[in-house]
Amino acid sequence: MKSIKEWTYSVEVRRDVVSTAAPLLRAMGERRCLVVTTPTVHNLYRELFGAMVDHGQGRMHVHVTGGREAGKTLEAAWAICRKAAEGGVERNGVLIGIGGGVCTDLTTVAASLVRRGVAIVKVPTTLIGQVDAGIGIKGGVNEGGAKNYLGCFHPPEAVFVDPAFLQTLPAEHLRYGLAEVIKIALVGCRQLFGTVVDWGPALVESGFARPADMAQEVIAHAIELMLDELRPNLFEDQNNRRAVDLGHTFSPLIEGATDFALHHGAAVATDLALSAGIAFELGYCSQAERDVIHETLSASGLPIYHSCLTPELCWRAMERATAHRRGAVNLVVPAGIGQVAFVEQAVNVPVALLAEAIAHLGRRQQRWLGPARVVAYQPLY
């Protein structure tokens, strides 16, 4: 038995979702529809939901789900499924997820299950969602402390990214999103990294509103880089070397160790910092490159160290990643700025090296007391 399946979907950065709701109303069409959102988004964007309810004429229902990582459970996805059943969503229906990564992840899992897979439209409202979680094809829920142990690959019908949502986002969350922007810049683009160094703090302060051209540039560029990385291995079955796993080997266990109290973006920042340290120790990047990564993260208000970081936790993380990546850890580390290298086996990252890299982060974090001009950056660009 042999079969081939093809998927196509679009990710559109556009400014008219919040202001006119037009793209969403067109996407809904005449279909039965369940809109899934979070309490915060539901409260902040009443006009948007009002327009959708009016358009839906009884064919559309709204389900408010929690937006926190700790609530990203199969139970929560199941509740969405039940609401879809009650709302009469059948195979030709659509689920629309409007919220952060937790919300779009839950909605994706539910959409993959309802009638064995119905259409989903994603509207990420956080920076992390707009440049990372919301634009791929994965949904996930946590199980027994294991992040995204359950989930699906379920391509969306469309993704609408409206930077206007970011104006209501707390600065803290914009910083978490910057962690993913820094990640994708490290993976594929020195220029984007430079833009973040130059404009990151101003963008965070203005809710990604000013400078408008830089906000647009950072988001669109990060999305483009991400899609370029995802495209050749969308279902993660072509190979086990995913550059976008940078920052995502240690972070799941860092999140788990804090019972998901530490935000995903903060854990990714810490992982990126550690990965840069490992890269330096292994000779993949220079000391100056390691330092500029650490300083850029710190200057963006992101942590580069957490007290739960131990060589033992790192080893468990690498063991888990090895199982997940089918037999080799393929630890992604920055090879300079804008490209990565893969450390194939965990044995190449000995405990003493990890201990040194972690200790260095502890010292740096103590020294670094807040945003400041990135001194070490100048000579590199």
As measured in angstroms, the least distance from the Cβ of 225 to a second copy is: 13
Q: Which two tokens stand for residue 330?
A: 């393929």
7 vs 381 by CB, closer to a second copy: 7
Measured CA to CA in angstroms, residue 162 lies from 135, 138, 172, 349 at distances of: 12, 20, 19, 41
DSSP string for residues in 41-69: HHHHTHHHHHHHHHHHTTSEEEEE---SG
Give the burial class of 220: count Cβ atoms within 10 A of its Cβ; 0-12 exposed, 13-18 middle, 19 or more buried. middle
The residue ranges that bind a second copy (CB under 8 A) are 1-11, 74, 78, 81-82, 85-86, 88, 90-92, 109, 112-117, 138, 140, 143-144, 146, 148-153, 155, 227, 230-231, 234-237, 320, 323-327
Measured CA to CA in angstroms, residue 76 lies from 32, 115, 141, 144, 335 at distances of: 21, 18, 9, 14, 40
151 vs 334 by CB, closer to a second copy: 151
245 vs 281 by CB, closer to a second copy: 245
As measured in angstroms, the least distance from the Cβ of 149 to a second copy is: 6
Task: Give me the residue label for tokens 């990126």.
Answer: 272
Helices 171-188 and 190-205, axial angle in degrees (round to 10): 170
User: Which spans in 189-324 are helix H?
Assistant: 190-205, 212-230, 251-257, 264-282, 287-299, 311-324
As measured in angstroms, the least distance from the Cβ of 167 to a second copy is: 27
As measured in angstroms, the least distance from the Cβ of 65 to a second copy is: 16
The identity of residue 195, as a single letter, is T
DSSP string for residues in 127-194: HHIIIIITTSSEEEEEETTEEEEEEEE---SEEEE-GGGGGGS-HHHHHHHHHHHHHHHHHH-HHHHH
As measured in angstroms, the least distance from the Cβ of 116 to a second copy is: 4
As measured in angstroms, the least distance from the Cβ of 73 to a second copy is: 10
103 vs 110 by CB, closer to a second copy: 110
As measured in angstroms, the least distance from the Cβ of 85 to a second copy is: 5
213 vs 237 by CB, closer to a second copy: 237
Residue closest to 124 by CA, chosen among 92, 145, 102: 102
155 vs 163 by CB, closer to a second copy: 155
Chain centroid offset of residue 35 CA: 21
110 vs 203 by CB, closer to a second copy: 110
